[in-house]
Amino acid sequence: MSTELPHTLRYAFLLHSSGIGGAERSALELIEKLIQYGNIVNCIVPEGQNKMDKMLRIAGAQVQVLPSLTWWTSDLIMAIQQSKEIQLLLGKLKIDLVVTKTGVIPQAAIAARKLGIPHVWFLHEFLDIDHGLKVPFNRDVFSKIVLDYSDKVICNSDSVREYFFPESHDKVVTAKPYPQIIDQIEAPISKKMGAPLELGLIANFNPGKGHLVLLAALVKLNKTNLNIRIKFFGDGGNSEYRGQIDSFIEQNSLLEKVDFKGFISSRKEIFESIDAVVVPSLNEAFGRVPFEAMSYGVPVIYSASGALTEYMIPNKTGIPFEVNDSISLAASIQELANTDYDCSFLVRNGWNFVKDIHGAQSYISDVMNICQAVVLNYNKKPLLDGIAVLIDELSQLTEQRDELTEQRDELTEQRDELTEQRDELTEQRDELLNSTIWKVTQPIRTLINLFKK
């Protein structure tokens, strides 16, 4: 094998969603750059909102849409079973590397190992403490599976890396997906805060994103003379949580203070419509919104949670507040709204910070170097005993469950046939009992019974 790194690769990405959230935007930007550098990218996406697959095709990717793709955080056995389908699909593609772009789907990792293709696993969420998802098995077993079924694991922040891999491991690296946005934008000019003060929260409706914390802060600020409006940008997520948000707004008479703007693809349109962005995440695995806001010259108010503390500089690139603390958030909003506060300071520092990060092109180049090294150094490995046995057992259990289900269906069908026959005989008996012949011959039957005795 050549010792030189290949200039281009043929990738197969397995994506967990066809919607457009922060994780999907990061994946799209990465795939766009890979294609621009001459790589061939195949993407497998689940059927759903059909936004992501269209944007991937525009970027030049080859897209396969699956009717369904089960997350193993919701159905462990079903997800593992689907690895067979993914294996058949990957087997038809001429690829150098399989990439799983989330922690919620194991199908590509299992399929890649069975096919003898190198695999890279991206982790860009905590699963449980940010999205309320159940970690498969438990965190230790989950982390072991990710390691065993990957040639490299890329975490999008040190916080995610330390959460799943508290001990250092040569397979695990951090590569922060800084948005590739600033090259399209001119240096921003600070603007005065509006009246009312328009605050934006850009996220789908998941409990970890902190919508209710911002609304609770709004209730407190309504008791002051500060005039504030909130705009929520996003349309997906947890329906139960969205219901809690609606109930809170109604119970606290906030209907005139909150606008649900839905999904807006244009970041320019979003940031030009607000005075500041609030990022109240309870546990943020990375967070693209602060970078986008700083690129457009919009001040940032953020919770000191997770990866946000890895790059945001308190009171220099943004105003922090305590996690899940509406009183602290209200105080930070008041600080921003103070007429003596110099917002241009935040805007200038934020712009310079994002420009420096972007200039390094660190994320894209790091990922390409990692992937190329994985392919160059790949040695085909057999399925590892412990995890392989576990997965095989789950597959066998699934097959047994399907066989039992089939037997149950057959027995149910037989029962229904017998019930139908019984009903027919009962109906015939009732017709006979009510017939004229039966009534006329009643005395004869009585005499026969007497002689029998």
Percent of the chain with pLDDT over 70: 87
Task: Flag the least confident range among 32-41, 59-68, 378-387, 397-406.
Answer: 378-387
- Asked if 213 and 327 sit in the same domain, the reply is yes
pTM: 0.79
Please report the pLDDT score of residue 422 as a whole number: 86
Q: How far apart are CA 124 and CA 100, in angstroms?
A: 11
Average pLDDT over residues 433-448: 69
pLDDT of residue 156: 93
Please, what is the Cα angle at 452 between 447 and 453, to 5 degrees? 100
**pLDDT for position 448:** 67
Task: Mark whether 237 and 143 lie in a shared domain.
Answer: no
Identify whether residues 209 and 191 lie together within a single domain: yes
Residues 264/233, Cβ–Cβ less than 8 Å: yes
Verify that 247 and 262 share a domain, yes or no.
Answer: yes
CA 153 – CA 164 distance, rounded (Å): 11
| Residues 195 and 171 occupy one common structural domain | no
Q: Please indicate, yes or no, whether residues 338 and 225 belong to a single structural domain of this protein.
A: yes
Residue type, 193: M
What CATH code is carried by the domain that includes residue 136?
3.40.50.2000
Mean of pLDDT values over 55-66:
93
Q: In this model, does residue 360 exceed pLDDT 80?
A: no
Work out the average pLDDT over 421-428. Answer: 83
176 sits in which H/E element: none
Predicted pLDDT of residue 110: 93
Q: What percent of the chain has pLDDT over 90?
A: 55
Phi/psi at 273 (nearest 5 deg)?
-95, 0
Domain boundary, last residue among 318, 346, 378: 378
206 & 298 share domain: yes
One domain, residues 186 and 123: no
pLDDT at 382 over 90: no
Residue in the structure block whose two tokens are 């293709």? 117
Query: For residue 1, what pLDDT is reported?
Result: 37
Domain that holds residue 374: 10-177+363-378
Average pLDDT over residues 114-128: 95
Q: Which helix (H) or strand (E) holds 241?
A: helix 239-251
Q: Is 124:285 a contact under the CB 8 Å cutoff? A: yes
Average pLDDT, whole number, for the chain? Answer: 86
Nearest to 86 by CA among 115, 61, 114, 111: 111
> Do both 335 and 190 map to the same domain?
yes
In angstroms, rounded to a whole number, what is the distance separating the alpha carbons of residues 399 and 80?
12
Q: Is residue 64 part of a domain?
A: yes
Closest by CA to 136, choosing from 168, 110, 167, is 110
Q: Among 386, 397, 392, 396, which Cα is nearest to 144's?
A: 386
| 363-399 exposure pattern, b = at least 16 Cβ within 10 A, e = fewer | bbebbbebbbebbeebeeeeebeebbeebeebbeeee
Task: Kindly state whether residues 170 and 21 are assigned to the same domain.
Answer: yes
Is pLDDT of 403 > 90? no
Contact call for residues 304 and 322 (beta carbons, < 8 A): yes
Do 222 and 292 lie in one domain? The reply is: yes
Q: What is the pLDDT of residue 6?
A: 53
97 pLDDT exceeds 70?
A: yes
171 and 194 within one domain: no
Tens of pLDDT, residues 149-185? 999 999 999 999 999 999 989 999 999 888 877 665 6
What is the mean predicted confidence (pLDDT) over 372-389? 71
Tally the domains of the chain: 2
What phi-psi label fits residue 226: left (phi over 0), alpha (psi between -120 and 50 degrees) or beta? beta
3-state secondary structure of 293: helix
